[in-house]
A = this chain, B = another copy of it.
Amino acid sequence: MKQETVAGIQPLTSFAASLRWQDIPQEVQRKAEDLAVDWFGSVLAGQNARPVRALASFALSQGPRQGDCEVIGQRAGTSPMMAAMANAAASHVAEQDDVHNGSVFHPAAVVFPPALAVAQSIGASGERFMAACVAGYEVGIRVGEFMGRSHYRIFHTTGTVGTIAAAAAVGNLLELTPQQMQHAFGSAGTQAAGLWEFLRTAADSKQLHTAHAASAGLAAAYLARDGFTGAQDIFTGPQGMAAGMSTDADASRLTDGLGTRWATPETSFKWHASCRHTHPAADALLQVLERNQLTPADIARITCHVHQGAIDVLGPVVSPATVHQSKFSMGTVLAIAARFGHAGLTEFDEQFLAPDTVALRDKVHMVLDDEVDTAYPRRWIGKVTVVTTDGRTLHGRVDEPKGDPGNTLSRQEITDKALRLAAYGCDVPEEKVRAAVQGLWDIAKARHVVRLIG
């Protein structure tokens, strides 16, 4: 582990415990609101997915029949842990939730659900709820960066580090002291789990990972409030998270620019409904098609010049068997983007095994690219080489895929995306979704956080 600039974890625990809304710059506040609305679309999009229904049904069966904590899309409320479990599962199935590039971490799915459940349980104000979420983002992103690329090769960072992000958000809401926050991090990190192995057979574990991270991190914070202790340094200790699950952890990342560098606005929105590793190449391909006025029929071969992480995650998916797995197939994603100009949820559902998709899919290849790999994970560069059927070789390149901070979505685009996702995935009437989205845009002004869907 690199330890050139070892910072103790006290700055991180103090920051997480003490962060309040008024301490957060306005542009960060606005981005947090953007992320909240964007998250809400994803949680609605996931409502009817089979794995989500199974997890929500299990959570409801283990909790009380009534409670203040909303299981989004359902009438019944339950306890904080069970609501966090169900909502976190729903957040991460449509592959439309946000991502922080540098940490390869999806904060929304593991931050908003536990924070919302606890805010509803204790009647927190909108400002307290939103500040807690920013604490979860800032901490989770830094711990994700700390764990490094070696971690992500085997472990789903959103599942592992998600426990810490959830504990930070919930601990902030519960007004833990810095010392209690350290114990919460210890209890969260010692439950950190999530292996990529499930991808090989398109299994449902991704939703379990976010459900687990949200509920385990929430439990860690409640336990710390009640005096339950955890490791003093679960991150860099000799038998801690990095020792067990990373070979390139960098302790200086844990507290990098804390309070001056805001990591929350570095978070990207997802535009295509697929694994983020496919987005740079998809955008670069769309650029080639547009500039050269090509159609899919003109394409003989597509070479994607990618970072190693893309090969690790997407490489095993050669012939996707399910819609979900197809979102981890570079070939399928590029084929759908080329055919429809955008790889959306409906397109995947209806077209992932269509003959035209499969034909184009099998013309797509990935190669490791030094420039792209070196820039990653700070920057996700998209580079493709397209060979046309008439023998031309064309190059596409994007430095920031759509949704990245330098190429972000407008509030109108975020609202539209949320409404589109809700229409796709849930049975809540559109006027209720519109009201809930409007409520979320104004959440920081709410005296108390109540049910999002009235």
A62 and B82 contacting across the interface, CB-CB below 8 Å: yes
B195 and A244 contacting across the interface, CB-CB below 8 Å: yes
Q: Is A391 an interface residue (CB 8 A)?
A: no
Interface size on A, residues (CB 8 A): 63
Q: Give CA–CA (A192, B208) in the complex, Å.
A: 12
A154 and B244 contacting across the interface, CB-CB below 8 Å: yes
Residues of B within 8 A of A454 (CB): none
> Measured between C-beta atoms, what is the minimum distance from A76 to chain B in Å?
12
Residue in chain B with minimal CB distance to A212:
B191
Residues of B within 8 A of A200 (CB): 231-232, 237-239
A63-B63, A64-B64, A239-B154 known; A198 vs B58 contact (CB < 8 Å): no
B216 and A232 contacting across the interface, CB-CB below 8 Å: no
> Measured between C-beta atoms, what is the minimum distance from A439 to chain B in Å?
27
Interface string of A148-181 (1 = CB under 8 A from B): 0000011100010000000000000000000000
B195 and A234 contacting across the interface, CB-CB below 8 Å: yes
> Measured between C-beta atoms, what is the minimum distance from A54 to chain B in Å?
4
Interface residues of A in 193-233 (CB under 8 A from B): 193-205, 208-209, 212, 216, 219, 222-223, 226-233
Q: Give CA–CA (A194, B188) in the complex, Å.
A: 10
B191 and A222 contacting across the interface, CB-CB below 8 Å: no
B195 and A231 contacting across the interface, CB-CB below 8 Å: yes
Residues of B within 8 A of A198 (CB): 186, 190, 229-231
Q: Is A240 an interface residue (CB 8 A)?
A: yes
Residues of B within 8 A of A189 (CB): 195, 197
B196 and A239 contacting across the interface, CB-CB below 8 Å: yes
Residues of B within 8 A of A194 (CB): 190-191
A62-B80, A222-B58, A223-B54 known; A229 vs B212 contact (CB < 8 Å): no
A187 and B216 contacting across the interface, CB-CB below 8 Å: no
B208 and A190 contacting across the interface, CB-CB below 8 Å: yes
B183 and A240 contacting across the interface, CB-CB below 8 Å: no
Residue in chain B with minimal CB distance to A183:
B203
Residues of B within 8 A of A197 (CB): 186, 189-190, 231, 233-234, 237-240, 243
> Measured between C-beta atoms, what is the minimum distance from A38 to chain B in Å?
26
Q: Give CA–CA (A233, B54) in the complex, Å.
A: 22
Q: Is A124 an interface residue (CB 8 A)?
A: no
Q: Give CA–CA (A154, B57) in the complex, Å.
A: 35
A232 and B203 contacting across the interface, CB-CB below 8 Å: yes
Name the contact of A227 in the complex, choosing from B50, B190, B230 (C-beta under 8 A): B50
Q: Is A120 an interface residue (CB 8 A)?
A: no
Residues of B within 8 A of A159 (CB): 190
Interface string of A374-399 (1 = CB under 8 A from B): 00000000000000000000000000
Q: Is A438 an interface residue (CB 8 A)?
A: no
Residue in chain B with minimal CB distance to A151:
B244
Interface residues of A in 132-149 (CB under 8 A from B): none
A187 and B205 contacting across the interface, CB-CB below 8 Å: yes
Residues of B within 8 A of A314 (CB): none
Q: Is A295 an interface residue (CB 8 A)?
A: no
Q: Is A79 an interface residue (CB 8 A)?
A: yes
A228 and B204 contacting across the interface, CB-CB below 8 Å: yes
A201 and B232 contacting across the interface, CB-CB below 8 Å: yes
Residues of B within 8 A of A199 (CB): 239
Q: Is A310 an interface residue (CB 8 A)?
A: no
> Measured between C-beta atoms, what is the minimum distance from A165 to chain B in Å?
15
Residues of B within 8 A of A275 (CB): none
A204 and B191 contacting across the interface, CB-CB below 8 Å: no
Closest 4 CB pairs of A and B: A196-B239, A197-B231, A154-B244, A193-B193
15 contacts between A and B (CB under 8 A): A51-B229, A57-B226, A61-B222, A62-B81, A154-B243, A190-B194, A190-B195, A195-B244, A197-B231, A197-B233, A197-B234, A197-B238, A200-B238, A202-B229, A244-B245
